[in-house]
């Protein structure tokens, strides 16, 4: 008896849950209302069947509960009943399938006027590419990928020269215009999912996959990776800005073309030296840093990282949080620099000898080693950093600085700004360091890493020249 009542309660509860739960499809922001309709039809059909079957079961349990004086009925077959049940079920299934297949037919048919965007996944971020004036995307191959060519565009393909490159996980789309997303991956399989758009597909290495939709609402949308792609899977986000056409055109015009990126001169260390004089008052003549001034060592950091941080300071993406006092100081300095000056300073810093910072904290380095295993996926097992993962070098950094930054990341004081995309990842990743002790332990392990001697850091010089 209890089971009959519980079955009824669970079935009705399931229906009530559908109506009362706070979780529904997020508000639609694309043309795929037909998918929502199919989902609704599925809910209605399955809901009715669920309640009917469970209700019938519960009723049978109550009505035919065991009675010693009674016998069950012996009628093991009923051809007519079985036929009708099969028939009605087939009709019901067809009613579900038909709208699904009709919608799928439009899903697989890309409208002729759709514009194209190439979406490239890699561990663990997204990059984008828009066709230039010629309206065509250039050929790509992983063998061309390098710091100066993050998407691997074939330099000999004239169609690639005017492609607009977005080397950060942020894309713009014009509202009310169909777009065909062309997805590829540099390494493993990823998936670009924006729930409000409904459509998505995996991004694979070695082949191109595609889907189309028309954004119907302006606004900012978050994308999450929807195909397990390794340790950073959960932190692989991107932002989609749907804007009016004019705003989109203006934004696209600001994005560098491939030709522009190729022509970009490397920073000038001589000019950087002059610029650095201001920095030296806190960071030291040789970039060795100064704990009393809360200024970290700058040697050993790659130019791409230095330039990005200076840009972030300038835009307020870093240092804008009122609790980041020392970061706030940097926003003032960075505000005086233009892009060229930043690259010059970064170039100058590459000429300074790398040196290990003084050890000031002690922790359980053995535990730190276990914890560092997560960090190693991006920052490398010897803390050398990895540009393809946008992860800076950790070896040789001041331990007090690392601790403060990890705390800031964990608390969201650094990295929560929507424009600090890679900082964002660190906020997510640092959550596994559950307390101060864990942070101290992992930093005390990082302290063990040796800095590379200046002459060994050929990799840095090479990337500088690209």
* Interacting positions 137-196 with another protein (CB under 8 A): 141-143, 145, 152, 183, 186-189, 191, 193, 195-196
Orientation angle between helical segments 399-411 and 421-429, nearest 10 degrees: 90
- Pick the closer one to another protein by CB: 74 or 112: 74
Q: What DSSP character marks residue 358?
A: P
Q: Which stretch binds another protein (CB under 8 A): 161-169, 202-210, 268-276, 320-328?
A: 202-210
Binding mask 221-260 for another protein (x = CB under 8 A): xx-xxxxxxxxxxxx-x-----------------------
Check if the beta carbon of residue 414 is closer than 8 Å to that of residue 324. yes
23 belongs to the binding site for another protein (CB under 8 A): yes
Burial 392-402 (b: 16+ CB within 10 A, else e): bbbbbbbbbbb
Count other Cβ atoms within 10 Å, centred on residue 34: 16
Task: Describe the strand order of the beta sheet including 164-166 as a list of residue ranges.
Answer: 164-166, 125-130, 115-122, 179-185, 209-213
Could you say which of 7, 280, 328, 356 contacts another protein (CB under 8 A)?
7
Min dist CB 131 to another protein, Å, is 21
Cα separation of 205 and 186, whole Å? 6
> Which segment (117-125, 160-168, 241-249, 252-260) binds another protein by CB under 8 A?
117-125
Task: Give the interface segment with another protein, choosing from 87-95, 243-251, 335-343, 394-402 (CB under 8 A).
Answer: 87-95
Q: Does 388 bind another protein (CB under 8 A)?
A: yes
CB 277 within 8 A of CB 270: no
**Considering the rule CB under 8 A, would residue 387 count as an interface residue with another protein?**
yes
Kindly tell me which residue out of 5, 44, 53, 366 binds another protein, with binding defined by CB under 8 A.
53
Which range binds another protein by CB under 8 A, 118-126, 253-261, 299-307, 313-321? 118-126
Extended beta strands in 113-236, E state? 115-122, 125-130, 164-166, 170-174, 179-185, 190-193, 202-203, 209-213, 219-225
User: Counting contacts by CB under 8 A, is residue 374 touching another protein?
Assistant: yes
Answer for which of 166, 306, 395, 427 binds another protein (CB under 8 A) is 427
Here the tokens at position 310 are 């200076």
At 328, list the tokens: 């706030």
Q: Which is nearer to another protein, 260 or 373 (CB)?
A: 373
Over the window 24 to 43, marking each residue x when it contacts another protein by CB under 8 A and - when it does not, the resulting string is xxx-------xx--xx--x-
Under rule CB under 8 A, residue 311 binds another protein: no
DSSP letter for 376, please: H
Site string for another protein, 207-226 (x = CB under 8 A): x-x-----------xx-xxx
CA distances from 285 to 209, 299, 326, 356, 454 (A): 52, 11, 19, 15, 17
Query: Does the footprint of another protein cover residue 75 (CB under 8 A)?
Result: yes
Given candidates 101, 250, 366, 461, which one binds another protein under the rule CB under 8 A?
A: 101
Q: Is 465 one of the binding residues for another protein (CB under 8 A)?
A: no
Nearest to 301 by CA among 373, 378, 354: 354
Please say whether the beta carbons of 32 and 38 come within 8 A: no
5 binds another protein (CB under 8 A): no
CA distance 367 to 389: 25
Min CB(265)–another protein separation in Å:
23
- State which residue, 135 or 418, has the beta carbon closest to another protein: 418
The site for another protein, by CB under 8 A, has a size of: 123
Contact between 280 and another protein per CB under 8 A: no
Return the ∠ at Cα 373 (arms to 367 and 379), rounded to 5°.
125
Cβ closer to another protein: 86 or 156? 86
Cα 193 to the center of its chain, rounded Å: 10
Question: Helices 436-446 and 399-411, interaxial angle, to 10°?
Answer: 140
């Amino acid at each position: 008896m209890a089971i009959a009542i519980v079955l009824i309660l669970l079935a009705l509860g399931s229906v009530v849950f559908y109506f009362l739960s706070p979780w529904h499809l997020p508000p639609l922001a694309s043309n795929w209302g037909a998918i929502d309709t199919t989902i609704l039809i599925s809910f209605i059909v399955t809901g009715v069947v669920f309640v009917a079957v469970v209700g019938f079961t519960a009723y049978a349990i109550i009505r035919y509960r065991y009675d010693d004086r009674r016998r069950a009925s012996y009628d093991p077959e009923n051809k007519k009943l079985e036929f009708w049940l099969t028939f009605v079920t087939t009709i019901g299934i067809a009613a579900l399938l038909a709208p699904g297949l009709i919608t799928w037919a439009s899903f697989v048919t890309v409208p002729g006027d759709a514009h194209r965007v190439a979406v490239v996944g890699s561990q663990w971020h997204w990059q984008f590419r828009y066709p230039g004036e010629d309206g065509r995307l250039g050929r790509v191959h992983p063998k061309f990928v390098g710091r100066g060519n993050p998407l691997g565009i074939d330099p000999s393909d004239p169609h690639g020269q005017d492609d607009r490159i977005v080397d950060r996980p942020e894309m713009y789309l014009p509202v009310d215009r169909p777009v065909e997303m062309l997805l590829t991956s540099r390494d493993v399989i990823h998936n670009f999912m924006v729930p409000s758009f409904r459509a998505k597909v995996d991004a694979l290495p070695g082949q191109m996959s595609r889907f189309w939709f028309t954004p119907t609402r302006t606004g900012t949308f978050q994308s999450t990776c929807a195909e397990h792609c390794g340790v950073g899977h959960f932190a692989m986000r991107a932002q989609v800005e749907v804007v009016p056409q004019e705003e989109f055109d203006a934004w696209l015009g600001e994005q560098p073309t491939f030709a522009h990126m190729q022509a970009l001169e490397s920073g000038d260390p001589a000019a950087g030296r002059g610029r650095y004089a201001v920095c030296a008052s806190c960071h030291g003549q040789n970039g060795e840093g100064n704990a009393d001034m809360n200024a970290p060592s700058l040697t050993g950091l790659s130019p791409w990282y230095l330039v990005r941080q200076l840009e972030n300071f300038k835009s307020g993406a870093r240092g804008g949080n009122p609790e980041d006092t020392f970061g706030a100081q940097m926003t003032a300095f960075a505000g005086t620099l233009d892009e060229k000056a930043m690259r010059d300073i970064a170039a100058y810093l590459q000429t300074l000898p790398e040196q290990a910072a003084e050890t000031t904290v002690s922790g359980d380095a053995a535990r730190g080693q276990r914890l560092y295993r997560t960090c190693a996926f991006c920052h490398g097992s010897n803390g050398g950093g990895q540009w393809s993962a946008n992860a800076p070098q950790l070896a040789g950094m001041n331990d007090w600085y690392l601790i403060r930054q990890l705390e800031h990341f964990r608390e969201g004081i650094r990295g929560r700004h929507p424009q600090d995309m890679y900082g964002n990842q660190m906020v997510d990743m640092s959550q596994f360091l559950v307390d101060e002790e864990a942070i101290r332990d992992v930093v005390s392990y990082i302290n063990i890493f040796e800095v590379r001697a200046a002459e060994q850091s050929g990799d840095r010089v090479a990337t500088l020249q690209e």
